[in-house]
Chain A
Amino acid sequence: MKYACLIYSDENDAVANPDPTSPAFGPIMAGYMAFGEEAGGAGVIVAGEPLEPTSTATSLQVRNGEVITTDGPFAETKEHLGGFYVLDCESLDEAMKWAAKIPHASSGTIEIRPVPDFG
């Protein structure tokens, strides 16, 4: 069973998301390295990527054949989608156990969504 773990966090919070050039960035990166090693070593990680801040986002819709683009994310919210993992787990309990170890779980929110298996 695959689960997408969507990592939501306030990108304007300098403690949770320090600037990559600041010294506070190191420990957070180290946390992700450690998670990657542990979950990767357990063979759980299918995929995972960080995302650039929402200030770089483009939202697009096609209406009546016309492409409408907007500068910015889909919705203006306090917490933003900052990255994701796809984890392969036995059950939701196992997915929850891993999600709790994602570094931003302690400052933001991890939304766990089952990935349907059409195979």
Chain B
Amino acid sequence: MDPVGARVAEVVRDEWPQLMAVLYRDLGDLGAAEDAAQEAAALALTRWLDDGIPDRPGAWITTVARRRAVDQIRRARTGRDKAEQLARLEEPLRDGARSASNDDQLRLFFGCCHPALRVEAQIALTLRSLGGLTTAEIAAGFLVPEATMAQRIVRAKRKIATAAIPFRIPDDPELLDRIGVVHHVLYLVFNEGAYASTGSVALRVDLAAEAIRLTRLLGGLVIDDAETQGLLALMLFTDARRPARIDAAGQTVLLADQDRGRWIHEQITEAVDILDQALRRHRPGPFQIEAAINAVHARAPSAADTDWRQIAALYRTLVGLRPTPVVALNHAVAVAESEGPAAGLRLLDAPEVAAPLAEYRYYHAARGELLARLGDPVASRTAYRRALTLTGNAADRRFLQARLSE
């Protein structure tokens, strides 16, 4: 795309969440809001290319979208709420055009990520309503046929309407859980983008960038939420390593082997700042701790300089907050690096870690590595062979086979 076109597209995308929030507030119908927003965005894209971007693009696009919505209602809608909707739409926008309050946008986040919707639907609705992605783009991002994604969105909207799922900001006792659902959705979108290894990269939208954009937006709406900032920092750290994660042959490069000069250092600086702000709020949470672990890695000039003692301590805290077997595995690996392989192996062999990870290939690969360092080649080979039987991925198989032949 030419630079002007790219700039226009950028402005339209930046205005989208505000636009949707105004339209949803006035129409009370997600589908109708999207239709009007879509038409206005399409018109802006062509008109601004010719005439230039207006001084107040938000006012321009909102006015157009509301006019479209009025036409749409006049044409199609009947019934009680018609007059009411028209009255709301024809009322002049308060304080100029950008009258979507933070709360209006937050309501969209909480509605799209309502726990009564399945997570695939939460993701699709969030990317559609707040990210402004088209159904085709979302489908391409998640490697599902467009018809499947379209049906998913239609079904979710029908449930929202039929079951009267409210788009509201939850009250205090449930607020924490509900914002956790929003975080989870954003985290899944990010991971899909950051670690996707299949599919034609050229055709896929950058879901990692989309997740970062939406998390930034959320962070601006719930200004004092430490975990939202922690999540944003975690995404920025992870994304900063992206240029070094894939080598020239398209193979995944492990963190220890990455060329740290290829990391995006200004993004790491920003992540450190955001994490510092979050930690100063003294409301720790799993995303802040994961981000802090990433910060330790980012600070090390080389893999050998990594402060594993600090990482082990952070994982110990994370085990307390989110006691999953995979977190326990990472904790054991960090302990092995800081205190030696025997200490790490003791943690790995604890039944509460070993039993749930019996079918997890990275568990056996980690055991194989520690046993080799302890000078027990027979037990090490047994563990690597177990890992190999659990591995479908070609790159992982090559890695494990190389270890076995050492």
Which residues of A are interface residues toward B (Cβ below 8 A)?
1, 3, 90-93, 96, 112, 114, 116
Q: Could you say which residues of chain B place their CB within 8 Å of the CB of A96?
A: 116
Apart from A91-B168, A92-B166, 15 more pairs, CB < 8 Å: A90-B164, A90-B166, A91-B164, A91-B165, A91-B166, A92-B114, A92-B163, A92-B164, A92-B165, A93-B165, A93-B166, A93-B168, A114-B162, A114-B164, A116-B162
Q: Could you say which residues of chain B place their CB within 8 Å of the CB of A91?
A: 164-166, 168
Q: Could you say which residues of chain A place their CB within 8 Å of the CB of B165?
A: 91-93
How many chain B residues sit at the interface, stated as a range, is under 10
Q: Mark contacts of B148-171 with chain A using CB atoms, 8 A cut-off: 1 yes-contact digit, 0 otherwise.
A: 000000000000001111101010
Inter-chain CA distance A1–B162, complex, in Å, is: 10
B163, B166, B168, B170 pick with most chain A CB within 10 angstroms: B163
A114 pairs with B166, CB closer than 8 A: no
Which residue of chain B lies nearest to A116 when distances are taken between CB atoms in the complex?
Answer: B162
A90, A92, A96 pick with most chain B CB within 10 angstroms: A92
Interface of A, secondary structure class, is: mixed
24 A-B pairs with C-beta separation under 8 A = A1-B164, A3-B163, A90-B164, A90-B166, A91-B164, A91-B165, A91-B166, A91-B168, A92-B114, A92-B116, A92-B163, A92-B164, A92-B165, A92-B166, A93-B165, A93-B166, A93-B168, A93-B170, A96-B116, A112-B163, A114-B162, A114-B163, A114-B164, A116-B162
Q: Could you say which residues of chain B place their CB within 8 Å of the CB of A92?
A: 114, 116, 163-166
Q: Mark contacts of B110-142 with chain A using CB atoms, 8 A cut-off: 1 yes-contact digit, 0 otherwise.
A: 000010100000000000000000000000000
- B91-109 CB contacts (< 8 Å) to partner A: none
Inter-chain CA distance A114–B159, complex, in Å, is: 10
Write the nearest CB–CB distance from A101 to chain B, whole angstroms.
Answer: 14
| Nearest 5 Cβ contacts at the A-B interface | A91-B166, A114-B163, A1-B164, A91-B164, A92-B165
